[in-house]
Structure 1
């Protein structure tokens, strides 16, 4: 059986690893000269986002992959800032952080080192239409950049959920490695947010992500306003930035003929926070499993698609509230008992919140997804 994988990202590597474990070899076509982008950043897997599937996402992923992924840090503390309030969550397992990039301990490199017989063909830009006639199966794992985005052409009932414009900065300063920080301020960040996750005690990734805006000029305005509000350039040294966009979409299926769509291409990108690492791994594993076992990929990922649906409803709720309401939510969360209920239990609060309040929120429309790309800005 011949299998091609387009893209050597997290989802593509997870699929290749699963195939290899069962004695199958895939050819991976990667348009870049190496695995992962040159500009690295810290990504986070948040436990709460996956409670409908598992209470311990990292253990769940390790079991699926049959390897042990080593996180950069366990996130035990979370500081949340709104316009006029703050909440400090301490000594709870919020999630785990990973390096996304070319470092030896990055998530991609951890997956790559377990591949023994899979051929990766670098600097090979291949189309789905070309490969589907040469291979028995094609796994499409090309992410959500516009030049590679093809899911809208093939997946049934495909519709865009949102496009978010994001600036990822690498900053130098003093940080607590197991502490993440999040900001929400409608006046400054619109329906977006800022997030900080440390590489180490000296280096951190700082994200400013804003959906539903018209373009990069608006992102620049949000970035500048946020930096002034938090005195970012006074507190830290800016080492560089990287701009990219994310497409979050919905489709009623994730297969077309002999092609299986994974990661962002399979509509597995969380539309609320833009999280995609865990669902990229899951979708890659499930695509490979469906090929190996001759089962339905659409059925294998059905429960995982529900996670994305819940996060979409939470996104609609966040888009619908104002700063005053968000201040109240953050103030409410700044209590030990509430924190224990929210972060220290296995209750799927996001699911129940989405079911209860979701019908009262309306989805906002984002600009056209063909405006997406990624590029270093400094």
Structure 2
């Protein structure tokens, strides 16, 4: 069956799907607007409830002042003697009424917002239903178009070239997505490694701060503190060793990471603290500081590569979506043109 014959056979189904797609296409943008409006309503209701709460507290405090003034006591007698009692009562009553009215106004606004959120929820539900129908119709139409354009000899070379271009972009996108995941994983490992090296630095610095090491070594308390620092540094170095080995294992799978440790493959803290003694503390501290600098450089490099990869990935996603829309519109235009040509041939 030729391309034109397939289109004539499926023309009614194609036109029905196109009508359904046209009727529900508005939901694609309306759904995002409906979600945004509902979120705004929720935020406004929360803000209104907090405002009502603060207004109620202010009104209660003002009412307590008003009641306190009316109680007979020293203040009552004082204001009575000065003939300011009536004025003060009026002022406190007006202040309380102002706070009370603020609370009432905000409660009315909250009632209106609750009605608005009900409307927003109904609108969102309506948009979701239409969007589900739109996506289903779009999928069915794509399947029909794939069937119509699945001939060995492509009926339109430009359409086939565009399809191949989309396929290449999608394959490249998969590579970028994989690289992005690896970069994020390596970045996470190096961040943990940096924390481990900081712990080792702090532990060695703690031992170095005990400048009276020979004097303290005579006492069990002093030796206990020193050993505690050194064991902490050794634990951190062991964790660092494991993390660097994990990064090396990933590096062999991704050539972009091969240069990160290329000059420092032997700078590992596997024996740094095994036979650590007092005269080696300064040397160990320098080694750890050097490794920390290397880790900071590697972390910066990985972060830069990760960000570049994610920018390229996001741009490729946009390119794939743009080309996919162009491809869809082109296919539909080809089918519509073929249907119109067939109808013209029948009438001629």
Tell me the TM-score normalized by structure 2.
0.21
Larger strand fraction of residues: 1
Tell me the TM-score normalized by structure 1.
0.20
Larger Rg: 2
Larger helix fraction of residues: 2
